[in-house]
Chain A
Amino acid sequence: AQSVTQLDSQVPVFEEAPVELRCNYSSSVSVYLFWYVQYPNQGLQLLLKYLSGSTLVESINGFEAEFNKSQTSFHLRKPSVHISDTAEYFCAVSGGSYIPTFGRGTSLIVHP
Chain B
Amino acid sequence: DAKTTQPNSMESNEEEPVHLPCNHSTISGTDYIHWYRQLPSQGPEYVIHGLTSNVNNRMASLAIAEDRKSSTLILHRATLRDAAVYYCILRYAGNMLTFGGGTRLMVKP
Q: Do A and B bind?
A: no
